[in-house]
C-alpha cells in the first residue's frame, strides 16, 4: 500500500532508535521511498551507515554541510508523510515551542504534509506536565501521535513510554496515506457530564475523557469521518469534528442531530441531575437540606432506538465482577459493550491504560489484557470493522 510513496523518517536520540532500523526496513519492504534524518544524539545510539544500507541513501544529519542550500525545506517539500520515531521529550518540546535548532525540528516546522510522532521515553518524562502540555499543543496544531505503550523500558524499568512497534507504525502510515473511503459516519461521545446545582457547583463524575478521545483520534487517523461530542476541552485530532457540551441534556441534543453509521458511546453520562438549578450561588448560611434529583436522558438508549439502528458500542465503568455489565449489554441491546473495573490497577480514571472486557449482544465475553488506551481504541475499531463486514 506504500508503493512509490515518499516517507521521511526522523530518528531522535533514545535507546529505541534501534527499532527505527526495523521500521525503515518495513517501509522499504512495503514499497516506500524512504529518506532518513538523524539528530546528533540519535547517532549515539545507531549509526548512519545502517540506514544507508537499508534505504539505499545516506541519511541527512545537519542543517549545515549538506549539498542543498536549504535541506529542511527541501526534505519537507519532498515527503508525503513524516514519521518521528522515536520522538523524544526534547524533540517534542522543541517543535511544540517553535524551536528549530537542528535539522529534524527545522524540517518538522517546515512540513506541510502529515506528521506522525511515536514518543519514547521513561514514564516519569512522559507523565511530566511539560511533556503533556507540549503534546496537547502539537495535537491542537494538527500533529498525529501513535503510542507510547506500556512495557519494558531502558535500564530495566517497566511502565508507560515504550515506543510503538514498527509494524504498528507502518500500518498507521498506510492509514494516513490511504484514508478510509467507505463513507462511514462515526460518532464518539466522551467525558463526564456536569449537571449544575448553581452557577458554581455541579454534580459530575471522575471521567478523564482519555478513552473517548483516543477512539476518536484513532478513527480519524484511519481517514474516517468522526464527530466527537465531548464534555471536555481536551484537544482532538485536526480532522475530528468536535461538538462541545456540558450536561446530559446538551449531549443528548448533540447526538440527536447527527446522522451516523457507528456510535461509540464512551462518555460517562450522569444518570441524575438536580430537578432545578439555582440562578445564584447557594450560600452556606442559607443551608441546603436536600437535593431533589431527576433522571437524565438515556443517550445510549435513544441511539439504539433509531431506525435504522447504527452499530452501537456502549461503555460500562463498574466496580466488581463482569456480571452486571453483561446484564447491561443484554438490556441495552448494544452490539458491543466495553466493560472495565475501575478498581483494578491501571484501569481506573485518569490512567493512560485500560483493561477491558468486550461483551457482545449475546453476552459472550472477550477479556483483553492491560494495554494503553490507544491500543484499546485501535483493537476496538478493528473489532467493529470485522463485525460490520460479517454482517455485510
Tell me whether residue 203 is in a domain. Answer: yes
Question: In CATH, what number is assigned to the domain containing residue 158?
Answer: 3.40.50.1950
Q: Is 104 within the bounds of a domain?
A: yes
Check whether residue 171 and residue 258 sit in a common domain: no
Instruction: Indicate whether 291 and 268 sit together in one domain.
Output: yes
Please give the pLDDT value at position 288.
79
* End position of a domain, from candidates 159, 177, 195: 177
What's the mean pLDDT in 254-266? 91
φ, ψ of residue 59 to 5 degrees: the values are -65, 155
Long-range pairs of 321-327 with CB within 8 A, sequence gap ≥ 24: 322/357, 322/359, 322/365, 325/357, 325/359, 326/359, 326/363, 326/365
Among 132, 151, 177, residue at a domain's last position: 177
pLDDT-based confidence at 72, cuts 50/70/90? very high
Q: Quick check: helix, strand or coil at residue 153? A: coil
C-alpha cell at 246: 456540558
In the prediction, which pLDDT does 300 show? 92
Residue 257 lies inside a defined structural domain of this protein? yes
Q: What pLDDT score was predicted for residue 181? A: 62
Please give the backbone phi and psi of residue 338, each rounded to the nearest 5 degrees, phi first: -105, 115
Q: How many domains does the chain have?
A: 2
CA–CA separation, 193 vs 293, rounded Å?
A: 15
**pLDDT, tens digit, 9 for 90 and up, residues 211-248:** 999 899 888 888 888 999 999 888 777 778 899 999 99
Range of the domain at 225: 185-390
pLDDT tier for residue 374 given thresholds of 50, 70 and 90: confident
Residues 235 and 379 in one domain: yes
Across the range 246-263, mean pLDDT stands at 91
- One domain, residues 150 and 221: no
The residue with greater pLDDT, 112 or 359, is 359
Final residue before a domain boundary, out of 146, 177, 208: 177
**Cβ-contact 1, 174 below 8 angstroms:** yes
Is 378 part of any domain?
yes
- Residue 250: pLDDT band with limits 50, 70, 90: very high
Q: What is the pLDDT of residues 139-198, one digit of tens each?
A: 878 888 888 888 877 777 778 888 999 998 998 888 888 766 667 889 999 988 999 988
pLDDT at 339 over 80: yes
- Report the pLDDT value the prediction gives residue 320, as an integer from 0 to 100: 78
Same domain, 272 and 352: yes
- Please report the pLDDT score of residue 194 as a whole number: 92
Structure confidence at residue 278 (pLDDT): 86
pTM for the full model?
0.70
Q: What is the pLDDT of residue 222?
A: 81
The predicted structure's pLDDT at residue 331 = 93
* 1: in domain: no
Q: What pLDDT is recorded for position 156?
A: 77
Predicted local confidence at residue 94, as pLDDT = 94
pLDDT reported for residue 174: 86
Cell triple for residue 277? 438549578
Q: What pLDDT digit, counting tens, does each position of 298-313 carry?
A: 999 999 999 889 999 9
Q: Are 229 and 173 in the same domain?
A: no
Q: Are residues 19 and 109 in the same domain?
A: yes
Peptide bond into 148 cis (omega under 30): yes
User: What is the mean predicted confidence (pLDDT) over 363-377?
Assistant: 90
Q: Are residues 122 and 259 in the same domain?
A: no
Name the average pLDDT for the chain.
Answer: 89
Q: From CA 380, how far away is CA 392, in angstroms rounded?
A: 18
Let me know whether 79 and 214 are in one domain: no
**Predicted pLDDT at 155:** 76
Distance in angstroms (rounded) separating the CA atoms of residues 129 and 138: 14
Q: State the sign of the Cα–Cα–Cα–Cα dihedral 376, 382, 387, 388.
A: positive
CB 245 within 8 A of CB 230: yes
For the chain, state the CA radius of gyration.
Answer: 23
Which CATH number is 337's domain given?
A: 3.40.50.10300
pLDDT-derived band of residue 317, with 50, 70 and 90 as boundaries? confident
The pLDDT, as a whole number, for residue 265 is: 94
Do 45 and 163 reside in the same domain of the chain? yes
Q: Does 334 fall in a domain?
A: yes
Can you say whether the dihedral through the CA atoms of 247, 250, 256, 260 is positive or negative? negative
Residue 180's pLDDT is 64
Which sequence positions are flagged as catalytic? 205
CB neighbour list of residue 65: distance below 8 Å, 6 or more residues apart: none
Verify that 173 and 254 share a domain, yes or no. Answer: no
Which three cell numbers mark 168? 504498528
Amino acid at each position: 500500500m506504500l508503493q512509490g510513496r515518499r516517507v521521511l523518517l526522523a530518528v531522535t536520540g533514545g535507546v529505541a532508535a534501534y527499532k527505527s532500523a526495523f521500521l525503515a526496513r518495513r517501509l522499504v519492504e512495503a514499497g516506500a521511498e524512504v529518506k532518513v534524518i538523524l539528530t546528533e544524539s540519535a547517532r549515539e545510539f545507531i549509526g548512519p551507515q545502517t540506514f544507508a544500507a537499508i534505504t539505499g541513501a545516506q541519511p541527512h544529519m545537519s542543517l549545515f554541510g549538506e549539498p542543498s542550500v536549504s535541506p529542511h525545506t527541501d526534505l519537507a517539500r519532498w515527503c508525503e508523510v513524516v514519521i518521528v520515531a522515536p520522538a523524544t521529550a526534547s524533540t517534542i518540546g522543541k517543535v511544540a515551542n517553535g524551536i528549530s535548532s537542528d535539522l529534524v525540528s527545522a524540517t518538522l516546522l517546515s512540513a506541510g504534509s502529515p506528521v506522525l510522532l511515536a514518543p519514547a521515553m521513561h514514564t516519569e518524562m512522559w507523565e511530566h506536565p511539560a511533556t503533556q502540555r507540549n503534546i496537547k499543543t502539537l495535537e491542537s496544531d494538527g500533529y498525529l501521535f501513535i503510542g507510547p505503550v506500556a512495557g519494558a523500558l531502558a535500564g530495566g524499568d517497566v511502565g508507560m513510554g515504550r515506543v510503538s512497534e514498527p509494524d504498528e507504525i507502518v500500518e498507521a502510515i498506510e492509514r494516513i496515506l490511504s484514508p478510509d473511503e467507505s463513507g462511514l459516519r462515526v460518532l464518539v461521545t466522551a467525558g463526564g457530564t456536569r449537571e449544575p446545582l448553581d452557577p458554581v457547583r455541579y454534580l459530575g463524575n471522575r471521567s478523564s475523557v482519555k478513552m473517548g478521545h483516543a477512539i476518536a483520534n484513532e478513527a480519524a487517523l484511519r481517514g474516517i469521518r468522526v464527530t466527537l461530542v465531548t464534555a471536555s476541552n481536551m484537544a482532538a485530532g485536526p480532522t475530528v469534528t468536535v461538538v462541545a457540551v456540558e450536561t446530559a441534556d446538551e449531549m443528548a441534543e448533540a447526538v440527536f442531530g447527527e446522522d451516523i453509521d457507528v456510535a461509540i458511546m464512551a462518555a460517562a453520562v450522569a444518570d441524575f441531575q438536580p430537578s432545578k438549578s439555582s440562578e445564584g450561588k447557594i450560600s452556606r448560611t442559607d443551608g441546603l437540606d436536600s437535593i431533589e434529583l431527576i433522571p437524565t436522558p438515556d443517550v445510549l438508549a435513544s441511539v439504539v432506538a433509531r431506525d435504522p439502528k447504527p452499530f452501537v458500542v456502549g461503555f460500562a465503568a463498574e466496580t466488581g465482577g463482569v456480571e452486571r455489565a453483561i446484564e447491561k449489554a443484554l438490556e441495552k441491546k448494544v452490539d458491543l459493550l466495553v466493560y472495565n473495573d475501575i478498581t483494578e490497577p491501571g484501569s481506573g480514571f485518569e490512567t493512560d491504560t485500560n483493561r477491558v472486557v468486550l461483551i457482545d449482544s449475546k453476552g459472550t465475553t472477550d477479556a483483553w489484557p492491560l494495554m494503553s488506551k490507544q491500543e484499546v481504541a485501535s483493537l476496538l475499531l478493528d473489532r467493529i470493522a470485522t463485525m460490520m463486514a460479517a454482517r455485510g
